[in-house]
């Protein structure tokens, strides 16, 4: 004897009603699987994925609520967007570094002068004529020593003729009470 759903005694209508209910159950189970798979692609926390899947156990309503509250983008899309933002920031930083310090006009790394304000950006190497930074001591292309770097490194003050540079005083040892060793006096020179 067939089970009569909704009180239908007719065999054909009963079959249609049974197929309709079975279709609703299959769609409900498919929505549970869809909710689980979608939550895994959108949510990092496994506890929240389990909660979303458990909410979809309420027929149709749980999946509907999940589809309203779910994150708007996939995790892979969010990671890709973050990488694009970092790449854009790096590009902006590189453009800022490759701009004229005077007028901020974009310049290439081998420019000697700014095309807009004519400010000198780099000096040409005396040997190979390639642009080198004024702070460099050696040309990286031809290994020629650059004269400008030596002058900037060691600025010397002019000394008077016949005077000695001041000597360092030996450190005193206050903790032990010892005196630094005395130097022998140099004999006076007669002129």
Residue 49 lies in a domain: yes
Residue 142 lies in a domain: yes
Reading the chain (191 residues) residue by residue, the pLDDT tens digits are 556 666 777 778 888 888 999 999 999 999 999 999 999 999 999 999 999 999 999 999 999 999 999 999 999 999 999 999 999 998 888 766 778 888 888 888 788 888 899 888 888 888 888 888 878 888 888 888 887 654 444 445 555 555 555 555 555 544 445 554 555 555 555 54
> In which domain, by residue range, is 132 found?
125-151
In contact, 137 and 146? CB cutoff 8 Å: yes
∠ CA 104-108-112, rounded to 5°: 90
Q: Which H helix or E strand runs over 186?
A: none
Q: Of 136, 151, 166, which residue is a domain's last?
A: 151
Residue 156 lies in a domain: no
Total domain count, the chain:
2
Give the pLDDT of residue 97.
72
Residue 85 lies in a domain: no
Total-model pTM: 0.47
- Give DSSP secondary structure letters for 88-118: HHHHHHHHHHTB-TTT--B--TT-SB-TTT-
Residue 92 lies in a domain: no
In contact, 149 and 139? CB cutoff 8 Å: no
Residue 56 lies in a domain: yes
State both tokens at 184. Answer: 């022998």
Q: Phi first, then psi: what are they for 126, rounded to 5°?
A: -70, -25
Same domain, 9 and 69: yes
């Amino acid at each position: 004897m067939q089970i009569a759903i909704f009180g239908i005694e007719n065999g054909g209508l009963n079959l249609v009603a049974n197929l309709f209910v079975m279709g609703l159950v299959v769609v409900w189970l498919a929505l549970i699987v869809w909710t689980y798979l979608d939550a895994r692609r959108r949510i990092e926390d496994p506890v929240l994925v389990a909660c979303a899947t458990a909410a979809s156990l309420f027929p149709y309503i749980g999946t509907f609520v999940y589809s309203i509250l779910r994150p708007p983008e996939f995790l892979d899309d969010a990671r890709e967007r973050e990488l694009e933002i970092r790449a854009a920031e790096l590009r902006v930083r590189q453009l800022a570094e490759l701009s004229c310090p005077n007028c901020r006009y974009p310049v290439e790394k081998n420019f000697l002068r700014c095309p807009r304000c004519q400010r000198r950006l780099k000096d040409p190497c005396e040997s190979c004529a390639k642009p080198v930074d004024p702070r460099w001591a050696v040309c990286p292309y031809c290994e020629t020593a650059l004269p400008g770097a030596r002058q900037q490194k060691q600025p010397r003050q002019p000394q008077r003729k016949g005077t000695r540079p001041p000597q360092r005083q030996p450190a005193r040892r206050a903790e032990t009470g010892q005196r630094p060793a005395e130097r022998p006096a140099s004999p006076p020179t007669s002129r």
